[in-house]
């Protein structure tokens, strides 16, 4: 790390690089204007009233935060009045104990910015104005044009400030940096960048329009990197500095006072993966990006390797080695084979667009220049509760597992239909807001003359998260094994046990927990049950779309909030041994020691469960390893091969934690002694002692694989 980057790092981690919003006063007469004219006019005034964040160590500036006084970016949704009102009513507040509204993530189309610049985007707007005649559409496009010109003017203001700052600097190197920054901002992002430095600067300035994911960074920066390295105008050392400054500024975009400051979900991007040509996209720049990032003692951003069948073992090993050396746990892994299959075959997205996906936030898939179509949470255990506690007469008379499953399936699909209707309702609430600044850098919004909040993009998926999938699989396994296959208990006895919350049926519960064929052991019963469930979900969902026409895939992760606890508190006892009030499980995996056959069996079970890829929505697989499987070099090589085989067999995702249960339990008792203990949570990492107790308990419950 150079001295300049070290200085910027210290400023960033102390919160001093945060771009504090400057309050703006608006003309009350604006209310006489049309809605879109007023909103866009005020956005422009707000942008041009901000002040660039600059220090003598800066090679970049141009980011600003919205304060909620105007319609802001589509990620943080400040100033989106309808969304904020909907959040007050439905955010973290389950409806019918079945569904709750959640946040959305997205990624801007930086390839368009880098190819055309904002001036080229204005050209797109003008072309669209020639096509559309509806007043609402033309007014929207005119508003976009107004905001685009304000961004150009903002960059020029930043240029002037950088030049002013340079005159106060005594260190020649730093003075020259600011002069060069000033010159660059006169060119970009108004025009397409010509150098690697200008490209990164362009990304950073435009990050204000969508301060979320930076997408597929390695592939859209690679042409600039190649060209500059070839012509001798860039060195690897200089490229490292530019990347590190970008990453520092992404960290600085979140206030140090926010609980999200130490969480990587605020900016999540991908490297590698299939290119439109069908080749693997991991390059020397991909490697440099990861090395540059993990050399920083920061938390944001986080990165996922998109693995393909063409990814070499050397690359896979390199990324796992980086992961084990990264104290801040910023690296996860994704399988392109299963995901691309789902996006092309189920969602009917052309291959050349499907390969542009990235994972954003906690692990939600979004396509370049697109939003994740839905992020609501669903209580997937709810239909189990219905059949055992409200409609038990329908299952008591079942003569076979198939008859029982048909009753359960009917309730499951009824619940999912209702939950997806709620999801459409949440989107309708958000669609009352018109977004201007993010829509500039999102695909199809300009061509369709429609805000991204209203379904302006053509390429997106809907992936509500179903919490408790493993609970359901395990419960179905119990019914198949103990009621029908082995006939150890009758259905009436199981119903009675659940309705009594296992009170008086402790022996039955002990037998189930001790001998149950639970998911994750790669046995015939649990594999069959899990695969059948996912096959039924595939058949039910494969042609369904949400109100914007986005195809629906299954998600299963949690995010920052403890929906698994809230849903669980009001969900009665289930056949897997769960008591009324116990938290639901999230992600696709196993915990509480139920995966008795070890890591290989667990990974095999997960890899086999979903051959069609209907579960390639927002999914996460948490794996807790004995530290020696990672730290010991001989064991590490075996772990690399094991995880590589998992992907080759069809696994979709994994992220690793290797902290002992004893340390985790002790951290709950004496958190002051374990302040630096970091873990992977649900698509992001954070300090264990900062997590909600319900999430801490879930992490402790994960089986430690040896």
Residue among 581, 393, 399 at smallest CA distance from 496: 393
For the stretch 346-373, pLDDT in tens is 999 999 999 999 999 999 999 999 999 8
Q: Is 676 helix (H, G, I), strand (E, B) or coil?
A: coil
pLDDT number for residue 452: 96
| Predicted pLDDT at 109 | 96
The answer to whether the peptide bond before residue 223 is cis (omega within 30 degrees of 0) is no
Domain boundaries, the chain: 26-64+109-208, 377-620
Whole-structure pTM value: 0.97
Give 466-476 pLDDT, tens digit per residue: 999 999 999 99
Secondary structure, 3-state, 477-536:
HHHHHHHHHCCCCCHHHHHHHHHCCCCCCHHHHHHHHHHCCCCCCCCHHHHHHHHHHHHH
Rounded Cα gap, residues 210 and 207, in angstroms: 5
pLDDT digits 0-9 by tens, 275-332: 999 999 999 999 999 999 999 999 999 999 999 999 999 999 999 999 999 999 999 9
Give the model's pLDDT for residue 589: 95
pLDDT of residue 691: 93
Contact 477, 519 (CB under 8 A): yes
Q: Could you tell me the CA-to-CA distances from 196 to 97, 235, 237, 285, 695 in Å, in that order?
A: 51, 11, 13, 11, 41
pLDDT tens digits for range 564-592:
999 999 999 999 999 999 999 999 999 99
Alpha carbon distance 111, 117 (integer Å): 10
Q: Which residues of the chain register pLDDT less than 70?
A: none
């Amino acid at each position: 790390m150079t001295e300049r980057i070290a200085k910027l790092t210290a400023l960033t981690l102390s919160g001093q690089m945060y771009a504090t919003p400057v309050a703006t006063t608006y003309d009350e007469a604006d209310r006489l204007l049309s809605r879109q004219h007023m909103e866009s006019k005020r956005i422009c005034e707000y942008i041009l009233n901000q002040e660039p964040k600059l220090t003598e160590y800066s090679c970049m500036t141009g980011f600003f935060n919205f304060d909620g006084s105007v319609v802001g970016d589509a990620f943080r949704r400040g100033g989106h009045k309808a969304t904020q009102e909907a959040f007050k009513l439905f955010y973290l507040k389950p409806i019918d104990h079945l569904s709750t509204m959640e946040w959305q993530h997205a990624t801007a189309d930086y390839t368009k910015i880098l190819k055309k610049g904002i001036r080229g985007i204005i050209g797109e707007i003008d072309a669209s104005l020639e096509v559309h005649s509806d007043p609402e559409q033309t007014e929207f496009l005119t508003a976009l044009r107004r905001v685009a010109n304000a961004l150009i003017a903002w960059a020029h203001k930043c240029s002037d400030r950088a030049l002013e700052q340079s005159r106060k600097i005594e260190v020649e190197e730093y003075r020259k940096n600011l002069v060069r920054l000033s010159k660059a901002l006169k060119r970009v992002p108004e025009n397409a960048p010509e150098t690697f430095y200008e490209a990164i600067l362009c990304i950073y300035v435009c990050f204000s329009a969508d301060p979320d994911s930076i997408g597929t960074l390695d592939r859209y920066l690679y042409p600039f990197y190649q060209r500059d390295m070839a012509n001798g105008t860039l060195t690897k050392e200089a490229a490292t500095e530019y990347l590190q400054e970008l990453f520092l500024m992404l960290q600085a975009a979140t206030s140090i006072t926010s609980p999200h400051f130490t969480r990587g979900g605020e900016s999540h991007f991908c490297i590698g993966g299939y290119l439109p040509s069908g080749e693997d996209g991991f390059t020397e720049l991909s490697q440099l990006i990861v090395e540059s990032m993990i050399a920083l003692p920061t938390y944001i951003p986080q990165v996922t390797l998109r693995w393909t069948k063409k990814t070499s073992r050397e690359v896979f090993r390199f990324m796992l080695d980086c992961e084990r050396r990264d104290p801040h746990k910023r690296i996860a892994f994704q399988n392109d084979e299963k995901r691309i299959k789902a996006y092309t075959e189920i969602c009917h997205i052309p291959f050349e667009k499907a390969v542009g996906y990235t994972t954003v936030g906690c692990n939600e898939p979004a396509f370049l220049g697109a939003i994740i179509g839905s992020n609501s949470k669903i209580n997937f255990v709810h239909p189990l509760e219905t059949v055992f506690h409200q409609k038990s007469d329908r299952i008591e008379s079942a003569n076979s597992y198939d008859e029982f499953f048909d009753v359960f399936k009917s309730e499951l699909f009824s619940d999912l239909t209702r939950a997806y209707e709620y999801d459409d309702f949440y989107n309708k609430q958000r669609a009352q807001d018109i977004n201007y600044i993010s829509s500039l850098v999102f695909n199809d919004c300009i061509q369709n003359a429609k805000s991204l909040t209203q379904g302006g993009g053509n390429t997106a998926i809907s992936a509500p998260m179903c919490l408790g999938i493993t609970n359901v699989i395990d419960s179905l396994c119990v019914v198949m094994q103990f009621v029908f296959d082995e006939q150890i208990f009758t259905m009436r006895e199981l119903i009675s046990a659940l309705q009594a919350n296992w009170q008086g049926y402790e022996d039955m519960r002990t037998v189930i927990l001790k001998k149950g064929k639970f998911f994750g052991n790669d046995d015939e019963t649990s594999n069959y049950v899990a695969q059948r469930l996912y096959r039924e979900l595939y058949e039910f969902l494969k042609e369904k779309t949400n109100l914007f026409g986005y195809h629906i895939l299954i998600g299963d992760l949690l995010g920052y909030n403890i929906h698994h606890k809230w849903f669980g508190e009001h969900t009665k006892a289930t056949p897997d041994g769960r008591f009324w009030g116990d938290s639901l499980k999230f992600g696709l995996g196993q915990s509480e020691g139920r995966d008795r056959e070890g890591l290989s069996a667990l990974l095999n079970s997960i890899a086999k469960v979903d051959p069609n890829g209907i579960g390639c929505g927002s999914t996460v697989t948490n794996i807790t390893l004995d530290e020696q499987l990672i730290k010991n070099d001989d064991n590490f090589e075996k772990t690399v091969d094991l995880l590589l085989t998992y992907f080759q067999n069809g696994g979709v995702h994994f992220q690793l934690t290797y902290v002992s249960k004893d340390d985790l339990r002790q951290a709950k008792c004496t958190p002051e002694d374990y302040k630096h203990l970091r873990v992977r949570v649900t698509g992001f990492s954070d300090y264990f002692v900062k997590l909600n107790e319900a999430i801490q308990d879930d992490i402790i419950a994960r089986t430690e694989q040896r």
